[in-house]
Structure 1
Amino acid sequence: MVWLVLRRGALALAVAAALPCAFASAAVLAGGELHSVVVRPDGTVWSWGSGLYGQAGDGALRSRYETVGRAWAKNLFDVTAVAAGSNHTLALRSDGTVWAWGDNLWGELGDGSRTLRTVPARVAGLDHIVGIAAGYIHSMALGADGSVWAWGDNHYGQLGSGTTTESLRPLRLQGVSNVSAIAAGFYHSAAVVRTGRVLMWGQNTHGQLGDAVLRLRLVPVEVSAVRDVVAVAAGQFHTLVLVRGGTVWTWGGNAFGQLGRRSSVMSSVDRQMMTPFQPPGFKRPDSLPSPTAAADEPAAAAVERLQNVTMIAAGEDHSAALTSDGQVWTWGDNLYGQLDDGTWEPRSRPVKAVGVSSVVAIASGYSHMLALQSDGTVWTWGFGFYGQLGDNLVTRRVGQARAVAAVSLAPLPRFEGPSFHPLGQAETSWIDPVVKVDNGVFTVRGQAATPTAYVIMTRPSRAGPGTPNKVLMATGALIGGCVTVGVQRQNQWVHYDNVDVPGPFTIIWQPPTTGEYTVVVAHCLPTGRRDNDFRITHLGWFDAPADRVR
């Protein structure tokens, strides 16, 4: 039972985008202890797995073994990055604000309280933020000016404030500037300075700070052994950095081979004894092994035979790297198949993940992995007892990657320049409208004087050869009121959909087979409602399965 208390949870961990990725930011994926989170192209946040502490953000608290299939974080839009802690979630919006929800016992939501939240709430005092990270029970943010902010638990000095006093609100680290990347581990934190230096602070029991003096650090200290660093990732007791040129360096605990170098690596049998989730038929002995200090490697060293790396991630006791050819390499603990190498054996050297290819981003949770392929498909593998693999099954462990059904991060058709052409009621029927197109997003907010006011329509399009394999799709989000989206020909509706339930929506139609038609976005009013607030994020042609067409 003591082991469960000490090792409950992990990490946020770390997706560190190091070298440019043409498809998407690494931060569109995140893994926590028992849940996973993604950002869809429309800027909405979706998660699956445990909802025990409200970490799904959908307004619900679930029982211990009740899992979330796929949940939308309520009233949260324009998100560019996510991070997942043990039982809390962070999101970064395009306006530079940070939002948080989930468990808050140690102040990890930064709202000044210890009250958990089941829906996203803004973290006060943070503006112009460009990066976020979530540790076990602490959180971090990176400012556009290179400043670092931290809040939550501070038992081991992981906030870098010079004390071990927790903080329920964000604190700015003193004496730290020009930072370009951050990472939060179990109880330690890291930052990369624009000059390529690495700063670390917090717990150091296994040398995870890259410091042979195995004592905690209350303020940042430099890891002198590495230079030209572009990204950092932090696990439970170990740390990885990505060096310019594509090599990976590691230090800290190595009981399971998570540093990628040979040491006193624990066997898979010993590892099974340490967890309450043994495979069927496994008999738990009276005495349990524990990671040995002999496996600690506080000195930084390069992971051999690993080149051209563009991204790194760290789980509780395993590590991962993405190379420029789209391959994923993993090493360390493998009890739940988190290495995707077809075995359950820990590995002290990188092995290729056999179930995925053409990968553009990776993320790691406690003992599970996520990967994003170039076609927008999300793949998961590893520990899935709480549904964190997104397969709607409480699968104990999965040793081979599989796609998450109905979750795609593929870029969608962007909304092109609108032509304001009112139909039916004139636009002058608006009392105080706000209608704008900004960065490809069409937003309507205001009050209408009449029950229906058509707002906008796209330029007429002509159906013809080549269109049968295409469909028309509109995606957006309704904040309040109602919106009608549909297809018209000669000012008559061919088909349309009313959306009156707040949240993100996707509508797909088969276009007319002949003649000219227009896609119309209309402002509609439910009974007794005069104000409407919605946005259209994507509108155009899309390749979609026939069974999704209306």
Structure 2
Amino acid sequence: MGNDAAGECRVQHWRDVVAVAAGNVHSAPNTGKSHTVGLRSDGTVLAAGWNGDGQCDVAAWRDVAAVAAGWRRTLGLLADGTVLAAGRNAEGQCDVRSWREIVDLACGDWHSVGVRAGGTAVAVGNNRRGQCDVDSWRDVTAVAAGYLHTVALKNDGRVLATGVCDVEPWEDVVAIAAGSYHTLGLIAQGKVLASGDNTHGQCDVGQWHGIVAIAAGSTHTLGLRADGSVVSTGDNSHHQCDVDSWSGIRMA
């Protein structure tokens, strides 16, 4: 669902997909300059949407274990812990060839973040608000990135943040997600925490329950319930929140 001006919603023919990612377009809203990426079970990658910076040039990728998408950029985590990148690199956000032992990654609008097997983090790209200042982080298991901030989940259920973000009080978190200006945390009890900009209601998640997975777009939020249904809140100007009829959805 959502804006299909560049064909980013034309994924109906995709098959054998085990994970998906969508590029945020905070920097150019409503321009149709976004894209969607899908990871197949055989380690190959699909892409649809705007390709002005080559962010959809991923057909030759092989042995990919995870994908991430940002503004005009796609990252692919290989089975050997190295990372591939395609797309815009004006701020150095695709300078990931030297990364090793990566187990998780995320794309912000203008920066890229990775988690190493030892629980440390690495980041490249725009650092205007300190969103790449992650060298001191330890015991990290997952990362998420927004427009001007980066968040990390620690193995004790606490959340680290750098840039424009306030998540210090959060505890018992099992998953995180980041939109352009808001951050989400899923706690073990199936409830969702939110912090940041709420102009479009993207942080109105206090009544959600039974949630097993979360995702954040630029200005909207999605939650997957244990029964396979989906809840949403936030900006719906392109019908990106029209998911009430979805059922049988499973975690990637």
| Pairs within 5 Å for 1:211-290 | 223-252=134-163, 254=164, 259-260=165-166
Tell me the residue number matched to 1:510. none
> Which whole-Å deviations, capped at 9, do the CAs of 1:319-360 have from their partners, x for residues lacking one?
1100111010001001001110xxxxxxxxxxxx22310100
What CA distance in whole angstroms lies between the structure 2 residues aligned with 1:307 and 1:75? 41
Q: Among residues 119, 122, 141, which one is paired with 1:196 in the alignment? A: 119
C-alpha root-mean-square deviation of aligned residues, in Å?
Answer: 1.2
What CA distance in whole angstroms lies between the structure 1 residues aligned with 2:63 and 2:207? 39
SS in 1 for 2:138: coil
| Pairs within 5 Å for 1:152-163 | 152-160=87-95
How far is 1:155 from its partner?
1.1
Which amino acid letter does the alignment assign opposite residue 248 of structure 2?
A: L
Structure 2: give runs of 5+ residues left out of the alignment.
26-33
Q: Does 1:97 align with 2:44?
A: yes
Which amino acid letter does the alignment assign opposite residue 18 of structure 2?
A: T
Tell me the residue number matched to 1:357. 209
Moved over 2 A (4+): none
Which amino acid letter does the alignment assign opposite residue 185 of structure 2?
A: A
Q: Which is helix-richer, 1 or 2? A: 1
Q: % of aligned pairs identical?
A: 39
Tell me the residue number matched to 1:332. 196
Tell me the residue number matched to 2:31. none
Tell me the residue number matched to 2:7. 54
Task: Check whether the contact 1:246–1:308 (CA below 8 A) recurs between aligned residues.
Answer: yes
Tell me the residue number matched to 2:71. 136
What CA distance in whole angstroms lies between the structure 2 residues aligned with 1:251 and 1:56? 32
Number of matched pairs: 241
Task: Check whether the contact 2:68–2:74 (CA below 8 A) recurs between aligned residues.
Answer: yes
Cα 1:54/1:410, change in 2 over 3 Å:
closer
SS in 2 for 1:407: coil
TM-score scaled to structure 2, two decimals? 0.93
Task: Check whether the contact 2:173–2:188 (CA below 8 A) recurs between aligned residues.
Answer: yes
Q: Does 1:150 align with 2:85?
A: yes
How far is 1:106 from its partner?
1.1
> Which whole-Å deviations, capped at 9, do the CAs of 1:265-303 have from their partners, x for residues lacking one?
xxxxxxxxxxxxxxxxxxxxxxxxxxxxxxxxxxxxxx3
How far is 1:175 from its partner?
2.5
Q: Among residues 99, 105, 109, which one is paired with 1:186 in the alignment? A: 109
What CA distance in whole angstroms lies between the structure 1 residues aligned with 2:237 and 2:97? 41
How far is 1:389 from its partner?
0.6
Q: Does 1:127 align with 2:38?
A: no
Which amino acid letter does the alignment assign opposite residue 139 of structure 1?
A: T
Q: Does 1:107 align with 2:61?
A: no
Task: Check whether the contact 1:378–1:409 (CA below 8 A) recurs between aligned residues.
Answer: no
Task: Check whether the contact 1:190–1:234 (CA below 8 A) recurs between aligned residues.
Answer: yes
Which amino acid letter does the alignment assign opposite residue 37 of structure 2?
A: L
Task: Check whether the contact 1:337–1:381 (CA below 8 A) recurs between aligned residues.
Answer: yes
Which amino acid letter does the alignment assign opposite residue 154 of structure 2?
A: V
How far is 1:406 from its partner?
2.2
> Which whole-Å deviations, capped at 9, do the CAs of 1:50-74 have from their partners, x for residues lacking one?
11110111xxxxxxxxxxxxxxx24
SS in 1 for 2:55: coil
